Amino acid sequence: MNKLEQTWRWYGPNDPVTLQDVKQAGATGIVSALHHIPHGEVWPLADIQERKRIIEEAGLTWSVVESVTVHEEIKTKGPKVDEYIQKYRETLSNLAECGIKTVCYNFMPVLDWTRTQLDLLMTDGSKALYFDWIDLAVFDIFILKREGADREYSEDIVKQASGRFDQISEQQKQDLANVVLMGIPGEKSVELDSLRASIDTYKHIGKEGLRENLVYFLNGIAATCESNGIHMTIHPDDPPYPILGLPRIASNGEDFNYFLNAVPQQFNGVCFCTGSLGASQTNDLPAILEEIKHRVNFVHLRNVKKDAIGSFYEADHLDGDVNMYKIMRILVAENQQRSKAIPFRPDHGHQMLDDLHKVTNPGYSAIGRLRGLAELRGLEYGIIGE
């Protein structure tokens, strides 16, 4: 039986995890991006070729681009939207010329992903990423001071957030803001004033407007993707619900069906992220995957554990609220229908063992992901052998 392609996210030459480390973990494909290129600008052919050369000289393959970031001008459909879509098309053409044709992106407004703590201590001494609704309310109501924010949380969460804000130090408040506003490793974080301005912009766009802007973007790149054999894979919202007054349009099965039907060409696909979708209290992940599996071109496998109010931490890959066995069974079966293996990567991982004493990118230390990949590899092989 055909096996899934095992890949690993690598942030480039400055990543503390080396390509040699990746090879020892057993992955064969690299998921990377040119983070030094400003958002929206064309990725030069020479830069792509250089990154590809480094990866291939290490005996690996650049399998997926994650991410070619969609500029805010496109998401908001600003006056320069067509100019930025043209630049995006040029980047896609350059990637295709280098044989790199699976491209991950997201359409989340302003913030790429959101957590409130990067080092939640687990019972075994490892550390995990954490999203706490109370801490988010502390940031939203008392630090960001967004108008009307207190009305969007339950009375109990507002009360707990108020008490927590009064108790924590100024340094702790700054640390919380830094985590919420943190960008992708190697890229700059969002500023508070910039976030406030963006929230006001998206207030006028709303969910329906953002959906329309996504469809406009996809239609704008369709011809380039189809002529070059490119597969676009949208990453789900993380977390999968509106936060800080910003709309979300890729959080559940209904969202996926909307844009997959609106732009039905095969190039328009999904990156199925079990961690992002699993953070919802209502998503049925196996059911969603069964419905859209023919449009899934890339997979992030990660697990989460939620509490009663929906706060969640990133659990071990096989130990959380996501039924990874059911997900893997569907993926293994779908992969048999493909001429080219579906790439997956172990998404995030606990900071553990020697990595506890190293500076690592949050969620992207080596040993936690190595453990995750080993577990997921074993799960796949076990299912194949059933």
List the catalytic residues: 235, 273, 300, 347-348, 364
How buried is 354 (Cβ within 10 angstroms: 0-12 exposed, 13-18 middle, 19+ buried)? exposed
Using CA atoms, how far residue 378 sits from 85, 116, 371, 375, in Å, is: 41, 32, 11, 5
**Contact call for residues 110 and 190 (beta carbons, < 8 A):** yes
238-241: long-range contacts at Cβ-Cβ below 8 A with a sequence spacing of 24 or more? 238/106, 238/108, 238/112, 238/113, 238/114, 238/273, 238/275, 238/276, 238/279, 239/114, 239/131, 239/276, 239/279, 239/280, 239/312, 240/276, 240/277, 240/279, 240/280, 240/283, 241/280
- Give the 3-state secondary structure of residue 333: helix
Residue 2 carries which side chain, given as an amino acid letter? N
Residue 4 carries which side chain, given as an amino acid letter? L
How far is 154 from 139, CA to CA, in rounded Å?
15
How many other C-beta atoms can be found within 10 angstroms of the C-beta atom of residue 150?
16
CB-side neighbour CA atoms (13 Å) of 12: 17
Q: Which residues pair with 38 in a beta bridge?
A: none
Name which of 242, 235, 205, 207 is nearest 107 in CA terms: 235
- Give the 3-state secondary structure of residue 345: strand
Strands 343-346 and 102-105: unpaired
Using CA atoms, how far residue 120 sits from 157, 236, 374, in Å, is: 20, 23, 23
